[in-house]
Amino acid sequence: MHAIMKLCVLAAATCMLLGAAGVRGQTTSGDADPKWRNGLPNDPAYFPIGVWLQDPRLASQYQELGINLYVSLWKGPTEQQLRALREANMRVICSLNDYARELLERNDPLLEVVAGWMHQDEPDNAQRNPEGGYGPPVEPAVIVAGYEAMKQTDPTRPIYLNLGQGVAWDQWTGRGVRRNKPEDYPQYVQGSDIVSFDIYPASSDRAIKGQLWRVGFGVKRLREWSGPDKTIWAHIECTRIRGGEKATPEQVRAMVWMALVNGATGIQYFVHEWDSKGKLVSASQLLNDPEMREAVMRINQQIHELAPVLNRPSPPDVVTIRSSADNVPIDAMVKRTEDAVYLFAVAMRGEATTASIQLAGLDGAWRAQVLGEDRTIDITNGAFEDDFGPWGVHLYRITPIGATP
């Protein structure tokens, strides 16, 4: 009877947390998203973790790290690339080139590995002129027209668009004549079903150097510009990119969770590295870095374990967090399942702070298991405190005291 009462308390509390929100992704099959018959799986246990522009022959090595999606193919897709990905059971989002159109015309079985089609990369940046120098970015209307054309060619797969640093940094000079023109972006995103952006503040040598918080800021902006129906992803850096300072494993984890708590429902790693003179060191540098490989594998493993939680809706306005350091905001997201409430929180600056956390609807005595940290925190009437180190991440699973973990 006591256990039943505890479960009733949890059910009531989580209903208060959720309000009238529905639950996304409640099917248990591995079928494709119902909007896209040939898109990514509509399985609550599936969370897309991609890698950008990699050799299909390396797919099995990336799968060992928990990566389940390729995004973009060098001068592809080609038959050889798609066969290698099919052999590795790795899905891909790639360009709708002439070869891909031929596959569509004959409904070729190789298409089973293609989960979506994509625009050219970073059309919002200044475009290189054939005669040298740079011209303006691609106009948003061109992207929207390209989207409509691809949808007409294949309505069964989503269209992916990746944007540049201007999403999270208005002063980015790479936009050329459209620098400081964020009003372009609500138009760009209309030309996509899945939209992402890339910004690499850890390795940058520009004004944004060290401003990791821009990853979460960019995701938040894309969500505001896109509305609730589009899928938002974020790129995550894990190399020196262009000879800069490499993010630490802790910083990589922080950027991943900054993206997730602000609304990203997928991530992808950028793993190329050049030296300071622009010479390519490796197109797959992550695989050459044992420490970062291990860190990325751990991050991805935890995401996959939490996928059924992450794929649920986030009830609004149920958590309030006060940081003891005014200059260190803490971003957070709440989820719930039938047996627990989850709070995922990340410090958005590289300084330590103490967080005073208040969750609505949790009356009485509760306990938070801090996932991956081998510790618990008692909660009274939804209130508790916890310390966050620089770029700190804490993931809490909260249940009534006395309930089965």
* 246 plus 125 within the same structural domain: yes
| Domain end marker among 277, 310, 343 | 310
pLDDT for 332-360, tens place per residue?
999 999 999 999 999 999 999 999 999 99
Q: Does 318 lie in the same domain as 245? A: no
Classified as helix, coil or strand, 71 is: strand
Q: Assess whether 374 and 242 both reside in one domain.
A: no
| Residue 335 shares a structural domain with residue 293 | no
Please identify, among 266, 293, 310, the residue that sits at the C-terminal boundary of a domain.
310
State whether 61 and 192 are in the same domain. yes
Of 310, 329, 346, which residue constitutes the final position of a domain? 310
Q: Is residue 168 part of a domain?
A: yes
Q: Are residues 204 and 261 in the same domain?
A: yes
Q: In this structure, are 257 and 379 located in the same domain?
A: no
- Following DSSP, what letter does each residue of 359-382 receive, concatenated? ETT--SEEEEEETTTTEEEEEETT
CA trace torsion 104, 159, 301, 346 (10° rounding): 180
Tens-place pLDDT, residues 254-291: 999 999 999 999 999 999 999 999 999 999 999 999 99
Predicted local distance difference test score (pLDDT) of residue 174: 97
Are 118 and 216 found together in one domain? yes
Q: Are residues 297 and 321 in the same domain?
A: no
What are the average pLDDT values for consecutive 10-residue runs of the chain, which has 405 residues?
Answer: 38 47 33 81 96 98 98 98 98 98 98 98 96 96 98 98 98 97 98 98 96 98 95 98 96 98 98 96 98 98 98 96 98 97 98 98 97 98 98 98 70
Residue 69, SS3 per DSSP: strand
In terms of residue numbers, what domain contains 382? 2-21+314-400
Asked if residue 119 is part of any domain, the answer here is yes
Domain tally for the chain? 2
Q: How high is the mean pLDDT of the chain?
A: 92
Whether the model pTM is above 0.85: yes
CATH number for 112: 3.20.20.80
Instruction: Give the residue from 194, 137, 141 showing the smallest Cα distance to 166.
Output: 137
CA distance 303 to 256: 10
Planar angle of CA 263, 269, 274, nearest 5 degrees: 140
